[in-house]
Amino acid sequence: MTCRVLRVSMILAVSLGAVTAARAADGPPGKNAPPPIEGGWTLVLMPDTQLYARDYPATFLAQTDWIARHAGHYNVKFVLHVGDIVENNNDRQWRIARGAMAVLDSRVPYALCVGNHDMGPGGKATTRDTLLSKYFPVGEALQEKTFGGVYDKEPLKLDNCFHLFEAGGRKWLILSLEFGPRHDVVAWANGVVERHPDRSVFLITHAYLRREDGQRFDRRSKEPQQAPPSAYPIAQHPAGLNDGEELWQKLVSKHRNFALVACGHVCYSHLLSSKGAAGNTVHQMLCDYQDAPNGGDGFLRLLQFVPDGKTVRATDYSPTLDRVSEQPKGRFEFALDPAPADGS
């Protein structure tokens, strides 16, 4: 057995132990962890885990183990991964990712988002081929009560999908779209939103806001943009590619029930609140810690929904450091519009 195979075997063994541990009773979440909100509920964002999958698998496991252990404490309803699950789109790293996310199975539902490093040979995004559905099969997702459906039918792929759930007296639609979504994927997403006018929509897609100023990626802009989706090889493919501004114009701004967008791709944190065509406010946030030490230092974002039905408190917290982030916009608050009644 080679050293690499042995290491993967050890990681999978550790993950099985973590699953057992996670099913134990909740313990203290950490001295410096944000306190739970009485009567509220929580969504957890997982920023880019690519370097954990490559170099720091124990941190990946520590993140999901902490979520699973304290899901009851925070009333966690969903976990949303904003993409770049792995670094090089290879079997070894996807096995690590699968082992870490397995800690949440049967505990907390989660949605995964395809990033540029999750696609193409070596994670170079030269093609849209990804091992995601090999390690997270659609057949398994279909068994989840929250799962709504996928774009890719032949063959079935998890690259673009949606989930439905309810929390805090509000119906939610989680829409997960690939890195730089293709034109036909955007058309499909519009159809999904139109069929659920009574649900508040939360889009997760890997690259949406830029690092420099927190504005949307825009291929027409003359402003500096680190790693815009339009600079990647897949932008030249016939199926097309849509960056943040194009997603805003073609999808997000068009629907009165859009509420939230979350992305990763570039560090660290931003919040952009914009008015859609119907006057609704859409809060768009960036969360990525891969430039921090140790591949990201284990930071997660807790979105805590207050029982008033509108206030949301965001806190970036690392269970491995037991510390709240000191980055600008590592902690902030915003207000949701009222829940849609029927989309009329």
CA 273 to chain CA centroid, Å, is 18
Count: domains in the chain: 1
Q: Is residue 188 part of a domain?
A: yes
- Domain presence at residue 275: yes
- Considering only CA atoms, which of 30, 103, 96, 34 is closest in space to residue 65? 103
We report the CATH number of the domain holding residue 252 as 3.60.21.10
User: What is the model's pLDDT at position 28?
Assistant: 83
pTM: 0.93
Is 70 a domain residue?
yes
Q: Report pLDDT digits (tens) over 280-325.
A: 999 999 999 999 999 999 999 999 999 999 999 999 999 999 999 9
Largest pairwise CA distance in the chain = 62
Give pLDDT < 50 ranges for the chain: 1-25, 343-344
* Residue among 302, 264, 249, 239 nearest 77 (CA): 302
33 belongs to a structural domain: no
Q: Is the dihedral of CA 255, 205, 19, 60 positive or negative?
A: negative
Tell whether 341 is covered by a domain.
no
Cβ distance 330 to 32 under 8 Å?
no
Rg (CA), the chain: 19
Could you tell me the residue range of the domain that residue 213 belongs to?
A: 3-22+40-335
DSSP per residue over 146-157, as a string?
TEEEES-BTTB-
- Is residue 135 in a domain? yes
- pLDDT score of 26: 60
- The rounded distance, in Å, linking the Cα atoms of 2 and 224 is 45
pLDDT digits (tens, 9 = 90+) for 59-98: 999 999 999 999 999 999 999 999 999 999 999 999 999 9
Is 307 among the domain residues? yes
Whether 198 is covered by a domain: the verdict is yes
Q: Can you list the alpha helix ranges (DSSP code H) found in the chain?
A: 3-22, 50-54, 57-69, 71-74, 91-101, 132-135, 138-141, 183-194, 244-250
